[in-house]
Chains A and B, each alone.
Chain A
Amino acid sequence: MRSIILLSTALVLVACSGAAAPETDTAYQDQLQLALLDAKPGDVITIPAGTHSLDRGLSLAADGVTIRGAGMGKSVLSFKGQIAGAEGLIVTGDDVVLEDFAVEDTIGDAIKINDTTGVTIRRVRTEWTGEAKTENGAYGLYPVQTTDVLIDGAVAIGASDAGIYVGQSKNVVVRNSRAERNVAGIEIENTQDADVYDNVATDNTGGILVFNMPDLSQPGGRVRIFSNEVYANDRKNFGHPGTPVASIPAGSGVVINSHDDVEVFDNDIRDNRTANIIISSVYSSNFGDSSFSDSFDPYPDRIYFHGNRLSGGGDKPDGLELKAAKTMVFGMNGRFPHVLWDGYARGDADMQICIQDEGADVFNADLANESKNMRVDNAPHDCELPRLGEVTLGSAQMSDALD
């Protein structure tokens, strides 16, 4: 009897000693990778319930395949001991469905979808367990150069860059998802026609980011952010120095950087300690000095905020310069208004940054002019823009899923 107790104690100790990687289930790893290699259009590959320890990245190149688990809390692919592969799963096939499983603790990105048409990611969780830290992988869900993307009911936790990151893509819907304890919760970058709605972003460094970076395959355009909850994204920035998100101040709610045609409406944005809304140009990121070609437009044009419910926040901005600016203009106990604009403008041209949210004053940090004339100035932003259209996804199957 006593020996049984001793034995079970030992087992518990082993299970709880988080440092050591669990033994790789090589038989399952080979079986799953072989199924991915053999997959034909229409196939469903199931991941049984349980935690499966893998040490090499998986890849799916076939079109029309579904990978289906028993639930994001039940079917777990754990990469704690990963020795090879820049991601947990890379998908290069078209019309792929990933649903009801989790990818944990990859050494690089969790799930990357590269250069495909048609991907649905439903009820999938990507997570770096334990403390959110710089050593965690960069991206949780990472479709890049994809067309027709539906991310629905996903959960992304602990990414050292963005939990949900859609880059250089076309026709994108991100909804009903939750991003927490990432540097960037949800990031839409150089993407054309994206709808981001009914998501929750909290406890990230920045909640929802819309970025346009220089000299990529396409500039971003037409992004709608609506009906999301974006609150208390106050986590200390733990991004890798040098990455674009490393310059995001802790306590950023919705951030628009160098992106054109963004409509943000009907969101609850609150209690983000630097500012609930930040609108900026690449010049005030840490890449102001980088070379980019003349064709790159560094200014955010036609940005339209309306009907958002804003409260709290702006009371404890991150970083010495922002702290000093807040104290200088609003006093020790004051707070930034809801909207922070870096003030970079294309000469005298009106960039049409329109803010119609109730109670949303706009603070112009006048960075373009060495902050000599920092001020609250709402008048230039009292404008309206035409509404953007709804995103439609290419395939009939995906459109049906949207209804």
Chain B
Amino acid sequence: MRRRLAISLLLPLALGGCTAAAPDAPVFHADANPATLSEWGLLSVDRGHLVPVAGNVTYAVNAPLFTDYAHKLRTVHVPEAASVRDDGSLDYPVGTIISKTFYYPGEGAKVRKTADANSGAIELASHRLIETRIMVLREAGWDPVSYVWHDDQSEATLKRTGAVVPLSLDGDDFAYVVPNENQCAGCHATNATTGELHPLGATAPQFSDRGKMVVEGVMRPGVFTAVANYLDEDLPLDTRARAYLEGNCAHCHNPVGPADTSGLDLSLSATSDLVLGTCKPPIAAGSGTGGHLFSVVPGDPDRSIMPYRMASTNPGAMMPELGRSLVDEAGVALIRDWISAMEGDCDS
């Protein structure tokens, strides 16, 4: 009798889990964050692939943030097209939902380092899903939400405090760190005084295919200067390096950002060599100096703090402080080349 009771209790629960159909369109949760990712109606599984639900538009960015070689599937859902502000950011309407799914080629904890092809769908059998981050624009502003994928890749669960996911990338073990809710603001609150969050990738200058975004009704046409694709080796070195710094550093290192305490401004709007680090002493770098006196010594990357911190994996020394456990080898090489090509020195 007791046994039957238990079974009959379990059965409806199990059925409930299976039969609650995932929404077939994006769902704006105006107040609270649902416990599971599927309740947002952003992504679904179709014939062995994770694909965007209709009503979400996939996009790629020109100057992506390095995240331990993870590939990223990005989607945006808008209730109506956003207009372009003067600075190129988009004036999204309330109800906008942006998602970014972090994943790797590979299986289980064994993943591989390959170039991100910005695919619009993820074959589940050959890929490991890690987390999906959401930015949702509510009445009071942007809220960040993080979901961590289950091992069976069937669902992702809300994880406000972040998580550590042990992975092995081409045989090298590392700890992939899912940020906690506050740490989202570490990058997305680019003005440390207001602390307001906003999207970093889903902006007009960052969209790699602006035409698609207009046609799909994500944004209205507008005037702005695009960020360069720093991987494009046909572009001048300075353009590529500045785009890399904009995409990977300027969310904190801008004139009003959390790292304005350092006096280093790595945004595209920076114009003087000094604020970009040339012959600039560190302020509070601690072990981040690597024994060097200046952020950038023209012509001498080996004596420059900037590439030292980019090449460090010590959380007390590395830059960026958050969002990576590994070194972006290509990024370090780009910044080293940029510094090598500079003329001048720091000897007075």
Contact = CB atoms under 8 A, between A and B. Distances in A.
A61 B185 contact: yes
A120 interface: no
Interface in B227-265: 258, 260-261, 263
Nearest to B256: A115
A293 B273 CA distance: 11
Contact of A59 (B180, B279, B316, B348): B180
A37 B161 contact: yes
Given A165-B284, A242-B282, A243-B282, A83 B164 contact: yes
Contact of B161 (A34, A144, A189): A34
Interface in A116-160: 134-135, 137-139, 142, 144-145, 160
A82 interface: yes
A160 B286 contact: yes
A315 interface: no
Chain B, interface size category, equals: 35 or more
A56 B162 contact: yes
B285 A243 contact: yes
Interface string B137-165: 00000000000000000000000111010
A216 B283 contact: yes
B347 interface: yes
Contact of A114 (B162, B180, B192, B283): B192
A34 B177 contact: no
Contacts of A161: 284, 286
B346 A290 contact: yes
Given A242-B285, A289-B346, A114 B161 contact: no
A150 B225 CA distance: 45
A288 interface: yes
Contacts of B195: 61, 92
A291 interface: yes
A56 B280 contact: no
Nearest to B262: A216
Which of A85, A142, A293 has the most B CB atoms < 10 Å from its CB? Answer: A85
B193 interface: yes
B38 to A, nearest CB: 23
A240 B348 contact: no
Given A242-B293, A291-B279, A168 B315 contact: no
A288 B347 CA distance: 10
Interface string A105-120: 0111100001100000
A298 to B, nearest CB: 12
Contact of B261 (A144, A160, A243, A292): A144
Given A92-B192, A213-B283, A83 B177 contact: yes
Interface string B309-345: 0000011110001100100000000000000000000
A350 interface: no
Contacts of B317: 108
B280 A215 contact: yes
Interface string B261-294: 1010000000000110011111111111111111
A311 interface: no
A290 B290 CA distance: 17
B119 interface: no
Contacts of B168: none
Contacts of B316: 86, 106-109, 137-138
Nearest to A287: B281
A138 B287 contact: yes
Contacts of B67: none
Interface string B285-306: 1111111111000000000010
Interface string B29-64: 000000000000000000000000000000000000
B126 to A, nearest CB: 28
A127 to B, nearest CB: 15
B46 to A, nearest CB: 34
Nearest to A114: B258
Given A34-B161, A83-B177, A287-B281, A139 B182 contact: no
Interface string B108-122: 000000000000000
Contact of A144 (B177, B274, B284, B291): B284
A378 interface: no
A142 B284 contact: yes
A145 B261 contact: yes
B223 interface: no
Contacts of A33: 161-162, 180
Given A33-B162, A34-B160, A243-B285, A287 B293 contact: yes
B286 to A, nearest CB: 3
A289 B348 contact: yes
Interface in A336-382: none
B140 to A, nearest CB: 14
Interface in A62-120: 82-86, 92, 106-109, 114-115
A206 to B, nearest CB: 16
A167 B283 contact: yes
A86 B321 contact: yes
24 contacts: A37-B182, A56-B180, A59-B182, A83-B325, A92-B182, A92-B185, A106-B316, A108-B286, A108-B321, A109-B286, A115-B192, A134-B287, A137-B287, A138-B286, A168-B261, A189-B283, A216-B283, A240-B286, A241-B289, A287-B293, A288-B348, A289-B346, A290-B280, A293-B274
Given A37-B160, A59-B186, 13 more contacts: A33-B161, A59-B183, A82-B315, A83-B177, A84-B164, A84-B177, A84-B315, A115-B192, A160-B286, A213-B281, A243-B286, A244-B283, A292-B274
Interface of B: 160-162, 164, 175, 177, 180-183, 185-186, 192-193, 195, 258, 260-261, 263, 274-275, 278-294, 305, 314-317, 321-322, 325, 346-348
Q: Which 4 A-B pairs have the closest CB atoms?
A: A138-B286, A242-B289, A108-B316, A59-B182
